[in-house]
Structure formats: C-alpha cells, structure tokens
Amino acid sequence: MSDIIGELLPPDRLMLTPGPSCVDPRVYRAMAAPIVGHMDPWFTAMMGEVQMLMRQVFRTQNRITFPISASGSGGIEAAVANPLESGDECIVCVNGAFSERMAIIAERLPAKVTRVEAPYGRTVDPQDVLRAGKGKKLKLVGLTHGETSSGIVQRVEDYRKVADELGALLVVDTVASLAGIPLDVERQRIDICFSGSQKAISAPPGMAPITVNEKVEAVMHARKEPVRSWYFDLTTAMNYWGKERLYHHTPPISLIYGMREALRLVVEEGLEARWERHAQNQQALVAGLEAMGLELFVKNPADRLVTVTAVNIPTGIDGAKVSRQLLDEFNIEIAGGLGPVKGKIWRIGLMGYSSQRANVLLFLAALEKCLLDQDFRLAGGVGVAAATHSYQQSTQPAVVGSRR
C-alpha cells in the first residue's frame, strides 16, 4: 500500500537570498483570487493594467512591454534571440554566472559572440568593450546591470556610450535591479530591458518583465529568418499582449494576478522612496558586517549591488555550517557563492519585501551567534549597534550618484 501524502505545509522562511525574496501578504491574497480564462474579457482588460504598471516601473512608454511567462532566464533568451540572427556579431560583458548565461544563449543561436570579461567582483571596463568592438559590424552589446553571483553593479550609461560608438543595440539584464535601484529605460536609452518577478518586485518566480523600443521592433521586423524559439518570439507573443489579444499560449493566471499586485505596491510606495529604502538597508547591513570584522567581496563601494551583498567567508569558518545554522535555528535563508567563488562567499539579498530594517537587525544578530559558535572573535552586539547607528545617520538621501 502506498503512503498517504499529507497536506502541503512549507516553512515560512525569512528569505534573504539573491532571489526569491519574501512576498507581501497582499500579493498572496491577490494570487488566491478565482482563476478566470485567459481569453475572458475581464482578464484581457486586466492585462492592460499590468502593462501600464510595468511601464511605470521600467519608466518607459514602449509599446512592447509585458511579462513573459518564464523565469528571468527566459527573459535572457527572449532578449538575445529576437534581435540576433545566426551569424550576427555581438558583445556580451561577462563578469559572473548570469552574464555568462547571456553569452551562452547567444552562442547557441548561433551568433558570433565576443566575450569581454572581468573577474567576479569587478565591473567590465567599457573601454575594453569599445576596443573589442572596433571594426566589427555589431548587432548588440549585452550586459547584466546587477550581477547576483558576485554582488556587482554596472553603470548603464557607460555602456550606452560605447554601444552608440559601435552602432549597436544595448541589451540590459535588470533581473536583480528593477524596482530596487535607480533605473530609467527611456532616460538611459536601453533598447531591450528585462527583469524577473521574484527579486526586488517581490512577486513569486515565474514571470520575466520585458520592454523593447521602436528601434528593436524595426530590427525584429527586418529579420531574414524567424526567431529560433517559437515560445520566446516577441512579435507573436505581442499578438496576445497587444490590442488584438489573440491567443498565443495559456499564461499563469495566478502569477499575473500576483505580478499586478506587486507592481501596484511598487508604484504605491514610489520608485524613489523604494530605491532609498533599499539603499539605506544595505548601508546598515554593510556597517554591521564590517563592524563584526567581515570583509565585503566587492572592494569598491560604488560597485556594490544594493540588492545583493557578497561577503567573504572568514578563514577558519565553515560557511555551509553557518548557512545551515541560520536556517535551522533562525529560519533565515541566505545563499553561497557560484562558480569560482563557491564556498568562498555568502550572498545576502535585501530585495523588495525582504528589505526591511527589522530583517537587517535580526540577521546581524543571528549571524553573530553563528560566528561565535565557531569561535570567531568579535565583540557581542557590535553588528547590530553599527547598523542602528547607520539608520540614525541616514536622514540624508542614501542613493549615491554613482549608482544611478
């Protein structure tokens, strides 16, 4: 006789990972609403509200703006597969696991990909991109705005200038940055911009917001061959998200409900206020970590991603044991490193609904306990004290110009 499987009762974790983040109860309530058909007039009208909110968060009026029914990796695939045809040349800035994924996807089209690389924890030098692109007929330059594998952020404007000189489109992965740090698709002249639902937007995983401008639309309509992926062909998917609302695929109805509510909460808070909240919480986290004698993986403060902080695991400390103790004893989940930094760093996410003062203080206190249990030398309470002092000093705007 087979065992009887009981009711699904997942633990209610404090998610301080690079994604997913915690979800606002209002988003959960929206997702519990009754499912209607994806061609129901009520639903197709509601889709317009999702697009309106998404344009506000991206800060664009682009016609093609909608959530792809896929994870952030689906956003990467759509962003490179639609403008690139086999044999097209492009440059991808690679300095982590997710920027490398963009290069891999482009190579499989197959496009002629030049990787301009930097080590984990470093930004890609825009001048290296310019030198690599000279003499090439480039279709696009791709980069990751916030690289969650190493906690690095890159200035979009620097690469926009380079893309202009090379006559290329600019494709930007904002999975870890949209709604968490300053981003303005129109002002920064991003041609293709995509994100993920599960990070600073704080909706469940499974949706990839994307927006493309008129220049990209012209490139897509001028293609000599169809997009290699039927599912990620934006021109056909837009038949459903456009005015026609023609059937394309059955989207995840409840996830779209959740996306609508999460975007509504972003707009309700205000983007500037939200950026400020994320910046202040990360500043307090960094102050606490440094007071405890821990070192940040990204040395230059201006290059640190606000939404994901990478911390070097101290010599003599079992990093995996600390992560497990945080989970078992304090119900807090963080992440370790990927690729060349696996086992060398912790990655702490403060995104969306997870980015709260109480969470920062709780995490620092819990981390201190875990470190003391492994005989790490630090004075008790210094992390929380430093973070508290940081909050007391944060009456002035905390979003620095170098992160814009």
Q: Where are the domains of the chain?
A: 25-268, 271-393
> What would the 3-class secondary structure string for the chain be?
CCCCCCCCCCCCCEEECCCCECCCHHHHHHHCCCCCCCCCHHHHHHHHHHHHHHHHHHCCCCCEEEEECCCHHHHHHHHHHCCCCCCCEEEEEECCHHHHHHHHHHHCCCCEEEEEECCCCCCCCHHHHHHHHCCCCEEEEEEECEECCCCEECCHHHHHHHHHHHCCEEEEECCCCCCCCCCCCCCCCCCEEECCCCCCCCCCCCCEEEEECHHHHHHHHCCCCCCCCCCCCHHHHHHHHCCCCCCCCCCCHHHHHHHHHHHHHHHHHCHHHHHHHHHHHHHHHHHHHHHCCCCECCCCHHHECCCEEEEECCCCCCHHHHHHHHHHHHCEECEECCHHHCCCEEEEECCHHHCCHHHHHHHHHHHHHHHHHCCCCCCCCHHHHHHHHHHHHCCCCCCCHHHC
Question: What mean pLDDT value characterizes the chain?
Answer: 95
Q: What is the band of 2 on the pLDDT scale with cuts at 50, 70, 90?
A: low
d(CA 168, CA 159): 10
pLDDT of residue 314 exceeding 60: yes
Pick the CATH number of 25-268 from 3.30.565.10, 3.40.50.300, 3.40.640.10, 3.90.700.10: 3.40.640.10
**Phi, psi of 318, deg, nearest 5:** -80, 100
* pLDDT tens readout for residues 6-20: 999 999 999 999 999
Q: Virtual CA dihedral for 292, 296, 301, 302, nearest 10 degrees?
A: -150
Q: Look at the pTM and tell me if it is higher than 0.75.
A: yes
pLDDT of residue 224 exceeding 60: yes
Q: 61 to each of 64, 140, 180, 263, how far by Cα in Å?
A: 9, 22, 20, 16
Share of the chain above pLDDT 70, in %: 97
| Cβ 216 vs Cβ 235: under 8 Å | no
d(CA 78, CA 74): 6
d(CA 322, CA 327): 9
| Cβ 346 vs Cβ 320: under 8 Å | no
Average pLDDT of the segment spanning 345-365: 98
CA nearest to 216, candidates 73, 76, 67, 82: 82
pLDDT on residue 396: 44
| Cβ 198 vs Cβ 205: under 8 Å | yes
Q: Angle at CA 64, nearest 5°, toward 85 and 252? A: 95
Look-up: residue for tokens 């001028």? 222
Sheet holding 192-194, edge to edge: 64-68, 208-212, 192-194, 169-173, 138-144, 89-94, 112-117
Average pLDDT of the segment spanning 245-273: 97
**CATH code reported for the domain at 271-393:** 3.90.1150.10
* pLDDT tens readout for residues 114-172: 999 999 999 999 999 999 999 999 999 999 999 999 999 999 999 999 999 999 999 99
- For 306-326, b/e burial (b = at least 16 CB within 10 A) is bbbbbbbbbeebebeebbebb
Share of the chain above pLDDT 90, in %: 96
CA nearest to 121, candidates 84, 145, 151: 151
Q: Which two tokens stand for residue 202?
A: 């704080």
pLDDT of residue 404 exceeding 70: no
Q: Which two tokens stand for residue 326?
A: 């945080």
Please provide the size of the chain in residues. Answer: 404
* pLDDT tens readout for residues 49-69: 999 999 999 999 999 999 999
Q: What is the band of 402 on the pLDDT scale with cuts at 50, 70, 90?
A: very low
pLDDT on residue 394: 83
* pLDDT tens readout for residues 185-222: 999 999 999 999 999 999 999 999 999 999 999 999 99
Average pLDDT of the segment spanning 111-116: 97
